[in-house]
Amino acid sequence: MNNNKIINALLSALGALIFISFLAFLENSFEGTIWLIPPFGASVVLVMAVHESPLAKPTNILLGHVLSALSGVIVLYLIGDHFIALGLAVGLAIFVMIVTNTIHPPAGANPIIVILTGQGISFVLFPVAVGALMLVLFAYLYNKLLKRNYP
């Protein structure tokens, strides 16, 4: 393995460490608020490790997360937390992301979180939309600082 690859891997890991630790700090600092959701862990891998991928584009991150979480809320509202709701919500999220050209695979977990935890529309706005926006801003600044192409 060459030195450039190791340096890039370390810098990507450092970016993930900073962002995820920041969200965890916010969650610990503001009792009763959710800042850190598992899909953000997968999203930070994309923006740090494969930042030039179409799946890591800001629109894909923002709309992918929001539309997927919204899919979960809609399905939960229409049929409840029935076992079929999980599959239906993820399927709807995939459909919506494909139709809107905003595919972001980590966002596929959002409908599952929504249904398993009984979240409503406020979850779509916070932590999903706010967290996704924070991730995009962080990725933009961090990658620019490292002189890497993003988006």
d(CA 110, CA 66): 9
Query: What's residue 1's pLDDT?
Result: 74
Dihedral sign computed on CA atoms, order 121, 138, 36, 57: positive
d(CA 46, CA 3): 21
Coil/strand/helix, residue 118: coil
Query: What's residue 96's pLDDT?
Result: 98
pLDDT band at 18 (very low <50, low <70, confident <90, very high): very high
21: pLDDT strictly greater than 90:
yes
Start-end of H helices in the chain: 3-29, 38-49, 58-79, 83-99, 110-117, 121-123, 130-145
Q: Packing angle between helix 38-49 and helix 58-79, nearest 10 degrees?
A: 160
- Residue 140: which of 131, 149, 130 has the closest Cα? 149
pTM listed for this prediction? 0.95
Query: What is the residue extent of each domain of the chain?
Result: 3-145
Share of the chain above pLDDT 70, in %: 100
Whether 13 and 104 have beta carbons less than 8 Å apart is answered as: no
pLDDT band at 31 (very low <50, low <70, confident <90, very high): confident
> Which amino acid does the sequence have at 128?
V
> Which amino acid does the sequence have at 31?
E
d(CA 71, CA 134): 21
35: pLDDT strictly greater than 80:
yes
pLDDT in tens, 105-116: 999 999 999 999
97: pLDDT strictly greater than 80:
yes
